[in-house]
Structure 1
Amino acid sequence: MRFVADGMLGKLARWLRLAGHDVIYIGKLNLPSEKQDEEMLEIASKEKGVLLTADVVLHKRATKSGLKSILIRETEIAKQLVEISRRLGKRIEIVPENSRCPICNGPLTSVEKNAINNVVPEKVLIANDSFWRCTDCRKIYWKGKHWKNIIETMNQYENMMK
């Protein structure tokens, strides 16, 4: 699914990318807020994406314009993911093989250890068997220490979805 996330939802954008969703993240634009909102609405319309925003006024403008928009009221990631799931009627899952780069939104592809042995620290190579590379920015990913936090957050999400 394609999303357009406003500048207040950068962390959520990264999580949705990890879950394999194509997310256009509109960080702070050097425009007055009125012009910034216009830009967001234009991008959401052009890209046919679901607008994700914490801005009530922007959400109302989007829905009045016939755009699909979800007003994000929660501040915790697991709760934000629940809001999206319930609005769209679809569960969110994080499967590394389907993930997108949380930084640039590029697709991730599996990469062999021997192809990256000079790219990541040796201790990372020894401790891990699975690696992914972003096809756009070339960043390498693996299930490091942060993976425990991802699992904990997704367990919270699953418990809230029951």
Structure 2
Amino acid sequence: MAELRLIGMKFVADGMLGKLTRWLRLAGHDVIYIGDLGVPANEQDNILISRANGEKRILLTCDVDLHRRARKTGSKSIFIRSNDVVGQLVEVSKRCGRKIMIRPENSRCPMCNGAIERADKKEIEGKVPGTVFDAHREFWLCSTCGKIYWQGKHWKTILDMASRYDRMVK
């Protein structure tokens, strides 16, 4: 199992943090990404602050002015300095005081933020390529968008990212 998990935290992320959003979702966090909402650029800051306050979410932003505005309204906000997603994960982890870990059974869909549940292999048959179906025993299904996940070649990337994170967070 890959380390990268702060289970159950709720965030709202600005438009510059799409990769961080996906990784936090994989780690089981409920992350609203402004880029998914179709909000006009001139309204995004107000929406981010409103969602952070109204839903008790932590705002994640690369914009120092937005961070300051959010703090003035009483929002919890983390100003992200790193441009590298692993560095960003380390920043969030340190500011929240928890280690991040990825476990497929606790992940959220990185695309839509929906809950991911283990799927019965019979339920997946015909919905993934035959070679994938034959090569894997475990599958997960997003309850919102229907996307199917398995520990394929990308799993090595996840493990490599987790290893980099572990080295940096210590």
In the superposition, the TM-score normalised over structure 1's length comes to 0.96
Secondary structure at the counterpart of residue 69 of structure 2: helix
Higher relative CO (Cα under 8 Å, sequence separation at least 6) belongs to: 2
Alignment match, 2:84: 76
Q: Percent identity?
A: 55
Amino acid in structure 2 at the alignment position of 1:43: R
Alignment match, 1:30: 40
Q: Is residue 77–residue 153 contact of structure 1 (8 Å, CA) maintained in 2?
A: no
The structure 2 residue matched to 1:145, chosen from 149, 153, 161, is: 153
Q: Is residue 53–residue 74 contact of structure 2 (8 Å, CA) maintained in 1?
A: no
Amino acid in structure 2 at the alignment position of 1:70: I
Whether 2:53 is the aligned partner of 1:45: answer: yes
Whether 2:105 is the aligned partner of 1:90: answer: no
Mapped to 1, the partners of 2:107 and 2:67 lie a distance apart of: 27
Structure 1 runs (4+) greater than 3 angstroms displaced: none
Please state how far the C-alpha of 1:56 moved relative to its aligned partner. 0.5
Consecutive unaligned residues in structure 2, runs of 5 or more: 1-8
RMSD: 0.9
Consecutive unaligned residues in structure 1, runs of 5 or more: none
Alignment match, 1:118: 126
Mapped to 1, the partners of 2:88 and 2:71 lie a distance apart of: 19
In the superposition, the TM-score normalised over structure 2's length comes to 0.91
Alignment match, 1:2: 10
Mapped to 1, the partners of 2:99 and 2:139 lie a distance apart of: 25
